[in-house]
């Protein structure tokens, strides 16, 4: 059952105030800019912005932080059926799943815990204040994703609260198209079934799953120069699991409406509805919770507006967004006897943000502010509190500046930023009195164009960032059968450094999405990174029989190397990634850690893409991982996908051709027995057979 959507309204800043200078000419097209940004946006040759309405200051080719981008084309070729699964194929990302189909998963980055990574959709935060276990709930169907950007390192000055170890930004497909391109209707469908060919040991049924995904898009013309668009994407999946009490049912809906009117600017609205119900065998309190069950329903709504104008060689833009998230979580310890122990959690979060930017050819300035509030209502049964009734609200301010200049070795871009957050209820800064109240960041990108290797376009990158995380409501107040609460927790703070070198053979081919069969591309990067986390929050205990307790129990330092190499020739490609890292802690003697020490010490990724004639293609992925929690053992996972593509002409539709694809996916082809979380064995070999249509 869907919960009733709370009525929301937002009054955005009027764009008509700036109508007098509404004509802006495009000087240059940037490969890193979204291909359908409204034409009022001016793209500067030196300073390039990915999304004018977001916090990002620079395009990927000028940012100094380590950034990995998965394009829509790459996503369609990987053997996955959910966004959560997709993230496990990104170098340096640690996805720890508890169940199939992405129903419950935690995500870390370069040794972090699952609470230290900020999740964004179109640049707007979706992290849940109740617990980081819910951060990936509001995921959208794969067909609605334009790209996924993974930015590594602490980055509060650019992204705000929660960006201690990195940021994952999921960009959705653009709703409206200039000149009414792809007017539609545009339809995609994907249907599949899968099985492990193993039977349940108790009831004898075969473990299997099935799913259907739909994508619909319609674009409209508005007057002489305006345009609009509508998008719907839905996924429906259910399965009997892969071991006792892991059956699940998941529905995900995504809707987006966009409109561009020259005088008023660009408006977009997005809505996500996710319903998950699953068996939670050994998810949280093994072995006693083998008969647990959980239902999680998530709703997310966001509306934004952007307007720009020019004056005296400056390009100005003002943008605002409002978002609302609700999460309803019902956990039953023993499904057949709910009265023994159960929890009802209702969390809500609201955020408003506005930004003002100004840029010239080599200078970018940006200031902004935000307001956010989180509330929680938590009961074991009606009238009996669990986490209780909690709320907090805060206001933040941020600013950044970027400057491009010439150096002796080539063009350079320097970016600096500051961020600070104020606790409205407590009337104080949201950090401890002994630490900084402003969180700075700085990045320097230098193009080594005046060297003997200039045809490779080498770039030297140096980045420094800081970040902060508030304890979740679960950290502060949750008391359960196997744990106690700690309402005295302090906020985490982090500082990170990155030193990197990256290069690409052809500058114009750095962005994903080129399909020219005659173009050969080589791209590579290697980064050294270091991160120090103070007041680290982890669930720990001093003996096996003791209860887990969240504590600020030490200072943590992570150091490592993260390398990535890509080679492609038309549709054929090879990609190699390697992560090696170590960690030291100031206080760990005799302490049993639940989360912080289960990090990846080593990660090796090998991805091969091969075109087999005109109709067949193959994608194969090898992942070799070694975790600190069991440093004596490592495991390897092999996944692959074989696709057969068929194309035929249909002149009555806007496209010149229809497409259909028959595919076979094999996940964990080696049938490796492994665990990403100590108490949860992962699925065995799994085979999916499906068909996709693009109409």
pLDDT the model gives residue 428? 66
pLDDT of 210 > 60? The answer is: yes
pLDDT the model gives residue 2? 34
pLDDT of 133 > 90? The answer is: no
pLDDT the model gives residue 436? 57
pLDDT tens digits, one per residue of 433-452: 445 578 999 999 998 887 77
Percentage, residues of the chain above pLDDT 90: 39
- Distance, in Å, from the CA atom of 534 to the CA atom of 467, rounded to the nearest integer, reads 10
Domains of the chain: 20-694 (2.40.170.20)
Question: Phi/psi of residue 680, each to 5°?
Answer: -120, 105
Answer whether 12's CB lies under 8 Å from 28's CB: no
What is the distance of C-alpha 657 from the center of its chain?
33
Order of all β-strands in the sheet with 117-121: 67-71, 145-152, 166-172, 117-121, 124-125
Weakest mean pLDDT among 346-360, 603-617, 641-655: 641-655
pLDDT tens digits, one per residue of 582-595: 888 776 667 788 77
pLDDT the model gives residue 385? 77
Cβ burial 465-484 (10 Å sphere, 16+ → b, else e): bbbbbbbbbbbbbbebeebe
pLDDT of 496 > 90? The answer is: yes
How sure is the predictor about 506, in pLDDT bands with cuts at 50, 70 and 90?
low
Question: Phi/psi of residue 570, each to 5°?
Answer: 65, -130
Per-chain mean pLDDT for the chain: 82
- Distance, in Å, from the CA atom of 49 to the CA atom of 27, rounded to the nearest integer, reads 13
How sure is the predictor about 429, in pLDDT bands with cuts at 50, 70 and 90?
low
How sure is the predictor about 47, in pLDDT bands with cuts at 50, 70 and 90?
low
Percentage, residues of the chain above pLDDT 70: 84
DSSP bridge partners of 609: 573, 619
CA dihedral defined by 173, 177, 182, 184, rounded to 10 degrees? 80
Weakest mean pLDDT among 8-12, 332-336, 502-506: 8-12
Answer whether 85's CB lies under 8 Å from 683's CB: no
How sure is the predictor about 82, in pLDDT bands with cuts at 50, 70 and 90?
confident
- Distance, in Å, from the CA atom of 176 to the CA atom of 219, rounded to the nearest integer, reads 6
- Distance, in Å, from the CA atom of 541 to the CA atom of 553, rounded to the nearest integer, reads 11
pLDDT the model gives residue 324? 96
Cis peptide bond upstream of 69, omega within 30: no
pLDDT the model gives residue 653? 55
* Beta carbons within 10 angstroms of residue 488's beta carbon: 10
**Among candidate residues 10, 14, 26, 36, the one with its CA nearest the CA of residue 307:** 14
């Amino acid at each position: 059952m869907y919960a009733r959507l709370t009525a929301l309204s937002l009054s955005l800043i009027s764009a008509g105030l700036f109508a007098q200078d509404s004509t802006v000419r495009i000087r240059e097209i940037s490969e890193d800019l979204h291909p359908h940004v409204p034409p009022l946006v001016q793209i500067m040759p030196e300073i390039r912005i990915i999304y004018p309405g977001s916090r990002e200051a620079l395009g990927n080719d000028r940012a100094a932080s380590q950034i990995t981008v998965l394009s829509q084309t790459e996503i369609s070729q990987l053997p996955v059926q959910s966004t959560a699964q997709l993230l496990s194929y990104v170098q340096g990302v640690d996805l720890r799943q508890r169940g199939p189909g992405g129903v419950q998963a935690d995500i870390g980055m370069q040794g972090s815990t699952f609470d230290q990574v900020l999740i964004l959709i179109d640049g707007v935060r979706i992290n849940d204040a109740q617990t980081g276990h819910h951060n990936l709930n509001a995921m959208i169907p794969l067909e609605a994703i334009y790209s996924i950007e993974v930015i590594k390192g602490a980055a509060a000055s650019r992204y705000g609260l929660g960006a201690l170890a990195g940021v994952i930004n999921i960009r959705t497909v653009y709703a409206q198209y200039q000149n009414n391109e792809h007017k539609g209707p545009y339809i995609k469908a994907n249907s599949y079934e899968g099985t492990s060919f193993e039977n349940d040991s108790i009831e004898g049924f075969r473990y299997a799953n099935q799913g259907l995904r739909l994508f619909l898009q319609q674009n409209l013309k508005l007057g002489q120069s305006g345009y609009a668009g509508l998008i719907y994407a839905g996924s429906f999946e259910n399965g009997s699991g892969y071991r006792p009490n892991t059956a699940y049912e998941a529905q995900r809906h995504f809707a987006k409406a966009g409109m561009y009117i020259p005088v008023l600017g660009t408006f977009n609205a997005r809505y996500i509805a996710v319903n998950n119900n699953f068996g939670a065998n050994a998810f949280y309190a093994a072995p006693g919770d083998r008969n647990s069950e959980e239902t999680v329903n998530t709703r997310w709504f966001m509306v934004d507006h952007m307007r720009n104008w020019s004056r005296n060689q400056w390009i100005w833009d003002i943008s605002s967004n409002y978002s609302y998230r609700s999460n309803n979580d019902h956990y039953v310890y023993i499904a057949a006897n709910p009265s023994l122990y159960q929890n009802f959690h209702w969390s809500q979060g609201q955020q408003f943000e506005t930004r003002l930017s100004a840029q010239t050819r080599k200078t970018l300035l940006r200031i902004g502010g935000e307001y956010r509030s989180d509330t929680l209502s938590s009961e074991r049964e009606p009238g009996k509190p669990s986490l209780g009734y909690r709320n907090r609200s805060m206001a933040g301010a941020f600013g950044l500046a970027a400057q491009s200049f010439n150096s002796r070795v080539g063009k350079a871009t320097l970016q600096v930023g500051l961020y600070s957050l104020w606790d409205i209820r407590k009337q104080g800064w949201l950090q401890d009195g002994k630490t900084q109240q402003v969180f700075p960041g700085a990045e320097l990108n230098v193009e080594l164009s005046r060297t003997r290797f200039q045809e490779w376009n080498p770039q030297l990158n140096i980045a420094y960032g800081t970040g902060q995380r508030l304890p979740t409501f679960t950290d502060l107040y949750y008391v359960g059968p196997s744990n106690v609460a700690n309402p005295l927790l302090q906020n985490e703070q982090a500082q990170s450094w990155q030193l990197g070198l990256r290069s690409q053979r052809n500058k114009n081919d750095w962005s994903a999405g080129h399909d020219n069969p005659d173009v050969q591309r080589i791209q590579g990067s290697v980064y050294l990174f270091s991160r120090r986390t103070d007041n680290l929050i982890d669930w720990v205990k001093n003996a096996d029989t003791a209860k887990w307790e969240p504590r600020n129990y030490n200072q943590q330092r992570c150091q490592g190397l993260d390398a990535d190499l890509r080679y492609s020739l038309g549709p054929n490609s090879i990609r190699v990634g390697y992560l090696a890292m170590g960690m030291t802690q100031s206080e760990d003697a005799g302490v049993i850690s639940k989360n912080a020490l289960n990090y990846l010490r080593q990660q090796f990724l090998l991805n091969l893409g091969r075109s087999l004639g005109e109709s067949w293609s193959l994608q194969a992925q090898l992942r070799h991982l070694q975790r600190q929690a069991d440093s004596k053992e490592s495991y390897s996972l092999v996944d692959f996908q074989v696709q057969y593509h068929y194309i035929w002409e249909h002149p009555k539709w806007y496209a010149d051709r229809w497409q259909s694809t028959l595919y076979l996916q094999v996940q964990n082809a080696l049938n490796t027995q492994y665990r990403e979380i100590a108490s949860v064995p992962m699925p065995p070999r799994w085979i999916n057979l499906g068909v996709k249509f693009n109409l």
